[in-house]
Chain A
Amino acid sequence: MSATRRSFLKSGLALGGIAATSQLSAPFVRTALAGQSSNSVIFASGEPLTGNWDPTSHTILGQINFEGYVFGRLTKTPMRPENPSEIQYELATGHKVISENILEWTLRQGITFHNGKPFKAEDVKATFEYASQPGKSAWYPGPVDVEIVDDYTVRLNTENHGYPATAYILLASFLPIMSAEDIADGAISQTPNGTGPFKFVEQRGDETIMAAFDDFHEGRPIIDEFRFAYMGDANTRVLALLGGEADIIERLEPEQHDTLAERDGVRVKRTVSTENKYLHFRCNKAPFDDVRLRKAVCHAIDRDLITEILGAAGHASSSYVSPVKLGGSDIANYPTYDPEESQRLLAEAGYPRGNGLPELEYITSTGFYPKTKEYGELITALLQEQGFNVKLTVLETAAWLERIYQPESGEAPGHLVDVGWATGSPEPDLVLRPMWHSSQSLITGFEDAEVDAALDAQQAEGDPAARLKLIEEGVMPKLADKVPSLSLFTSVLIHGMQSNLEGAYFYPNGPIDLSKASYT
C-alpha cells in the first residue's frame, strides 16, 4: 500500500517488448546488457525505497521486501497453505509462554550485526520497545516492556498495557531486529544495519547495492552481490528480465505470467499471498449501516467471474484472511452468488429492485493491484443488474490512497471501497483488528460488540489450537453473518526469474530468501 508511479501499457506492451528484444538487430539494438557477473542477482522491484532505512518509518511493501535481505528476525514463518502457523527459529532458539502477559524468548548466540557488534538481548529489548510505541506503527497491538533475563533471554511483558503477550508469537516473524546502538543514536534511519544474509553497501540512484555477509549465521550466501533496483513499470521489468538486466522480477500481470511461462530461459513462480482483496462497505453511514443491504450486495456478486478475470493473479477463497494465515480456511456460511436472495434482502430492506436507493459510489484504484479496474467494472455491472445504482470511481493510486481510510472527523467518501491488505506474518489479527475491531475499523467504520468480543477472546487465548478454534468458530462465522466487508479472493504473487537461478524461497508477503540461492 503505497503510492507507486502509474505504470500502464502493462502486459500487452511487455509482450510487445519481448518481440522487440528478440527480433531487434542492427542499428537500434540496445547495446551491451548490464555486465552480469555470474554471482550477482539483480532484483527488479515494483516499488521504490524511501531512503529512510528505519523499518518502522513506513508501510511500503517494497521496503519490507528490502528489509528481508538485510535484517534478521526472531523467527521465520514460511506460511505454506498446508501449515500456515509453522514457526522456524532464526535469531531466537525457542519461546515459552510464562503467563498470559509474559512471553519468554531464548536467543541464538554467536551472531553479529553487519557492523560487527554482537547480537544480544539488549537489541531485542530496544527493537521491541521502539517499534511498539503507540503512534509508531499500526502493526503492533500496543506498547510492550521487555525484561532482560540474561544476555540471551528476554521476556516480553504486557501486564501494564492490557493485552496478552502471546500476540507477539506470530508477530515476531515480522519485526526486523535492529541494533540497540542504532536505535539510541538514530543511525537506524541513515544506514541499514542488521543480521541478515546481505549487508548494505550503497545507494546508487534507483539501485540499492548489497553484498553477501560473510558472517551470516546460516552460512555465507552463495551469491556475492545483490542489487535491489526500482523499476516502476511492469513492462520494463519484463523487458529487463528477458534482456538479462534483471534476474528476478516481481508483480507480473496475469497475461505476462502466461506468456513468460511458455518461454525458455525464464521461469515464473506463483505464490499464494497473505493478501486478500476486499470490497469494504462504509458501515457507519447510510445505506450500508443496514446489514441486509450489505448482504444483498454480497449475494449479487459472482466471485467465480472475478477469479476468471484475474487468471494467474487470483486464488479463489471464501474467508476474511488468506489461506496462508492462521484461521484462513473457507467459512461455511460465507455469502455466495444468489440473485434471488439479493432481491429478497433488497425488498426486505425497503428497496425492492433497488428502487429508492441513493447513488452508491464504488471507489477503486488503478496502476497498483492487478485487474482492479476490470473486476471493478464487472462488480458494478453485477450490482446494477440487481438494481443497485452504483457509480464506479477509478482513481490513481495516490488519490485512491487518500480516500480509503475513515477520517478522524466527518464521513468517509464513497460507499464501497476496494482495498487489499497484505501483512508479513501468519498472524490474522494483523488484518482482523485494523479492519473490523471497533477500536480501529480503519476502512469500514464497522462497530459491533459481538465481533469485538469474539476478536478479543481469540487474542487472549494463548494456546494456538484453542485460538484457531476460536477464530474459525467464533470470529469468522460472525463476520460472514454481518458482512462488514466481502473478501473477494486471495492475491497471488507472480515472480519471474532466470531459469538457472535455484534455491530462492518466496514468502507470501513478497520478500525473497536468497541466502541459499545460486546459479546452476
Chain B
Amino acid sequence: MSGLSSQFWHSVNGRMLRAAWARPQFKVALVFLIALIALAVLLPMLSSVSATTISVRDRFAPPVLWEGGTASHLFGTDQLGRDLLLRSLIGLRNALVIGVVSVFGMFVLGALIGIISGYRGGIVDTVLMRITDAQMSIPVIILAITILGVSRPTPFSVILVLILAGWPTYARVIRSVTLTESRKEFVRAAKIIGAGPLRIMFRHIAPNILPPVAFIAVLDVARMMIFEAIFGFIGIGIQPPVPTFGNILADGTKYLINAWWITVVPGLFLFAALISLNLIGSALESARNDVLGGRNQ
C-alpha cells in the first residue's frame, strides 16, 4: 500500500468506509446496486432494439411467465409495444444521473455557503443562515410544481429545481463542520502564521466534510430519484419519448386492468435501486456514528 492510500485508510474518511464495509447490508446493497447499474448500462448497448422502438402489433405483451408472454420481451411490452425491461433500465439510468448530478449540485452550493458562513461568521453567517432557514420553510413541492409546470421542463430545469430544494441541509452540516474545525488549535495557528483561507479550507476543513455528508448524500440520491419520478408522473418532468419512471407509470395507469405490468415492472426496478441506496446510506450513517461517536452533527 502506498503512503498516500495508507494515509487515507487511517483518516477519518477511510475509517468510516471500513466501518461501513464491515456491515453485511452495505456489501450486499453495494454489489446489488453495481449489478443493477451495469445491467442498465450494458443491456441497452447489446440489445438489437432500443427503448423507444415502437411496434404497435406487439403491444400489451405480458411478462414471459404469464400466458401470452414471449422470451423476446422478458418483462412484457407497453401500450406501444416497447420493451419494458429496456424502458425500465433506461428510466433507471436517467433517474440515477438526475439524482447524482442534483445531489452533487446541492453539495457544491451547500459547501460554498456553509464554508463561507462558518469561516467568516458574524453578519455574513447570520444572513446566510437566515436564508437557509427561510428556504426550509418554503413548501418545496409547490415551488417545484410551479416552476416546472409553467415553464417547459428539461433535464436541466429538473436538476436545478432539485438543487434549489435540497441545498440547505448541506449548507447547515458543512457550516457546523467548518465551525468545529476552525476553532481547533492548529487551524488557529495556521491562520496566525498567515495561511490563506483557501489553503485552510482545503487542508483542514474539506477532509472532514465527508463523514457527516456522505450518508445524507446517498440517501438524498434516492429521494431525488423519487422526486424525479413524481415530476414525470405529473407530467412536469423530462418529456417523452425519453423513458423515465414517472412517465412510464403515468402512461401505465391508463392500462391498469388490461396491462398491469406497465406500472408494476418499472416500479420494481425503481424500488430495487432505492432500497439499495437506502441500505448503503444507513450503513454509512451507522459507520459515521461508530467513527465520530454519538449522533450529533
Q: What residues of chain A have their CB less than 8 Å away from a CB belonging to chain B?
A: 8-13, 15-16, 253, 255, 259, 305, 308-309, 366, 373-374, 377-378, 380-382, 391-394, 396
**In the bound complex, CA of A44 to CA of B124 (Å):** 61
Q: Give the bracket for the number of chain B residues in contact with chain A.
A: 20 to 34
Q: Which residues of B contact A394 (CB under 8 A)?
A: 235, 239-240
**In the bound complex, CA of A10 to CA of B258 (Å):** 13
**In the bound complex, CA of A308 to CA of B80 (Å):** 10
A308 to chain B minimum Cβ distance, whole angstroms, is 5
**In the bound complex, CA of A366 to CA of B235 (Å):** 10
A496 to chain B minimum Cβ distance, whole angstroms, is 16
B255:A255 contact, CB within 8 angstroms: yes
Stretch in B49-57, B95-103, B277-285 touching the partner: B49-57
B53:A381 contact, CB within 8 angstroms: yes
Q: B68 contacts the other chain (Cβ, under 8 Å)?
A: no
Q: B264 contacts the other chain (Cβ, under 8 Å)?
A: no
**In the bound complex, CA of A16 to CA of B257 (Å):** 7
Q: List 26 A-B contacts (CB under 8 A).
A: A8-B250, A8-B253, A11-B254, A12-B252, A12-B257, A12-B258, A13-B253, A255-B254, A255-B257, A305-B56, A308-B56, A309-B56, A309-B79, A309-B80, A366-B235, A374-B80, A377-B80, A377-B240, A377-B241, A380-B241, A381-B52, A381-B241, A392-B240, A394-B239, A394-B240, A396-B235
B244 to chain A minimum Cβ distance, whole angstroms, is 13
Closest to A234 in B: B254
Closest to A367 in B: B235
Which secondary structure characterizes the binding site on chain B?
A: loop
**In the bound complex, CA of A393 to CA of B153 (Å):** 10
Q: Which of A259, A378, A393 contacts B54 (CB 8 A)?
A: A378
Enumerate the 4 nearest inter-chain pairs by beta-carbon distance, A residue then B residue, closest first. Answer: A12-B256, A15-B257, A381-B54, A305-B56
A393:B239 contact, CB within 8 angstroms: yes
Q: Which residues of A contact B256 (CB under 8 A)?
A: 9, 12-13, 15-16
Q: Which residues of B contact A15 (CB under 8 A)?
A: 256-258
Q: Which residues of A contact B56 (CB under 8 A)?
A: 305, 308-309, 378
Map CB proximity to A onto B221-247 as digits: 1 under 8 Å, 0 otherwise.
000000000000001000111000000
Q: B152 contacts the other chain (Cβ, under 8 Å)?
A: yes
Q: Which one of B79, B80, B254, B256 has the highest number of Cβ atoms from chain A below 10 Å of its Cβ? A: B254
A109 to chain B minimum Cβ distance, whole angstroms, is 53
Q: A374-B80, A381-B52 are in contact. Are A253 and B254 (CB under 8 A)?
A: yes
Q: Which residues of B contact A9 (CB under 8 A)?
A: 253-254, 256
**In the bound complex, CA of A12 to CA of B262 (Å):** 11
**In the bound complex, CA of A10 to CA of B251 (Å):** 10
Q: Which residues of A contact B235 (CB under 8 A)?
A: 366, 394, 396
Q: Which residues of A contact B54 (CB under 8 A)?
A: 377-378, 381-382
A384 to chain B minimum Cβ distance, whole angstroms, is 8
Q: Which residues of B contact A378 (CB under 8 A)?
A: 54, 56, 80
B152:A11 contact, CB within 8 angstroms: no
Q: Which of A16, A374, A391, A393 contacts B79 (CB 8 A)?
A: A374
**In the bound complex, CA of A394 to CA of B257 (Å):** 24
B14 to chain A minimum Cβ distance, whole angstroms, is 47
**In the bound complex, CA of A194 to CA of B53 (Å):** 54
Given A8-B253, A11-B257, A378-B54, 5 new contacts (CB under 8 A): A10-B254, A11-B255, A373-B251, A377-B240, A392-B240
Closest to A413 in B: B152
Q: Which residues of A contact B52 (CB under 8 A)?
A: 377, 381
**In the bound complex, CA of A378 to CA of B56 (Å):** 8
Q: Which of A259, A382, A396 contacts B257 (CB 8 A)?
A: A259
Q: Which residues of B contact A16 (CB under 8 A)?
A: 256-257
Q: Which residues of A contact B253 (CB under 8 A)?
A: 8-9, 12-13
**In the bound complex, CA of A173 to CA of B254 (Å):** 37
A373:B240 contact, CB within 8 angstroms: yes
Map CB proximity to A onto B101-144 as digits: 1 under 8 Å, 0 otherwise.
00000000000000000000000000000000000000000000
Q: Which of A12, A308, A382, A392 contacts B255 (CB 8 A)?
A: A12
Q: Which residues of A contact B254 (CB under 8 A)?
A: 8-12, 253, 255
B152:A255 contact, CB within 8 angstroms: no
**In the bound complex, CA of A490 to CA of B124 (Å):** 65
B250 to chain A minimum Cβ distance, whole angstroms, is 7
